[in-house]
Amino acid sequence: MNIYDVTIIGGGPAGLYSAFYSGLRDLKTKIIEFQPKLGGKINIFSEKMLWDVGGQPPILAGDFVENLKQQAMTFDPTICLNSKVHEIRKENGVFVIETTDGKYHYSKTVIIATGGGIFSPIKLEIEGAEKYEMKNLHYTIKGLERFAGHEVLISGGGNGAIDWAVELLHVAKKVTVIYRKEELTAHEAQIKKLREYNVDILLNAEITSLLSNEDKSKIETAVIKQNGQILSINVDDIVISHGYNREVSLHFAPEIEPEKKDNYCLVSTGQCKTTVPGIFAAGDIVTYNDKVGLILGTFQDAVLAVNSAKLYMEPEANEYGMVSSHNDKFKEKNQQILERKFA
């Protein structure tokens, strides 16, 4: 049985920084993440600019994820992707973490960093739509360049949809927004921008079918129903922004069920400890007074959770990790960085 010191559930910013810090504290570390890639919720908005992370000039969220991942790998944690944790129980003093693919992971401590749960985009309910997903039907925008000179139809009226529409204004040849309600619900300033550019906004409208080109390789026309009338719009791309389904099915065996708030968030009793010894929590999932629900808050939680895990396993250990500037663990790595810099 391969027993880890710390197993982190969730590979978002809280999980990734926990992995870095856990390595800094000499703990054998594993991350289990449901999605096929690390980064958590930030992957939903990877083309947006982040301004509010301390010490970080404005940066594309996708690039920021790459930095987080690079830092998380500093001490070579084990990474398990495409693995959804189904249940956590405790047997003979060791946590047993069961994933839905039937695998078992063993750990002395667990850090829950599952954020708001597993997010997946709400899909277009049109028969056969899925076959265009790798072509010109999109549920997220990974890079704006792909849309250069294209006619893009955006379905949705919330912040996500309207933010994309605004970003695409300067890239696409034409942007059309359709929304099933009577009014857009996004921020007013963003809606104003769309109106300034005379973007076609079709309200009380929804896509009813998709017509493909001759070789059926992509969607050519979206058929839309608006106020009972049928319209056809030629498209190069369709972006669907109908929100996200959130799945929160992580179970704890009854004897190690931590206290929750609002039936989901894990209550911290201080230092990101849950009410169950050996189980800690970091990031959006943990709740306490003065909690900062931002990326920067996840870093503080990660440090607290890892230090708590360390003390749980080694009560005589230092309460805090040593600062990185004076930490011998980085001696060799510092040397390599300096050599590269002055090469």
Give contact residues for ligand FAD (rule: CB under 6 A): 9-15, 32-35, 40-42, 44-45, 50, 52, 84-85, 113-118, 250, 283-284, 293-296, 298
Nearest to ligand FAD of 42, 172 (CB atom): 42
Check residue 273 and report its DSSP letter: B
Q: How far is the CB of 160 from ligand FAD (least distance, A)?
A: 7
Which letter, b or e, does each residue of 43-64 get, where b requires 16 or more Cβ atoms within 10 Å of its Cβ? bebbebebeebeeeeeeebbeb
Nearest to ligand FAD of 59, 94 (CB atom): 59
Nearest to ligand FAD of 216, 261 (CB atom): 261
Q: How far apart are CA 179 and CA 199, in angstroms?
A: 13
Q: How far is the CB of 178 from ligand FAD (least distance, A)?
A: 21
Nearest to ligand FAD of 206, 284 (CB atom): 284
Residues across the chain: 343
Q: How far apart are CA 140 and CA 239, in angstroms?
A: 7
Q: How far is the CB of 90 from ligand FAD (least distance, A)?
A: 17
Secondary structure class of 151 (helix, strand, coil):
strand
Q: How far is the CB of 279 from ligand FAD (least distance, A)?
A: 14
Let me know: does 144 contact 166? Beta carbons within 8 Å: no
Nearest to ligand FAD of 50, 219 (CB atom): 50
The two structure tokens encoding residue 117: 């749960």
Strands 286-287 and 265-267: parallel
Q: How far is the CB of 184 from ligand FAD (least distance, A)?
A: 17
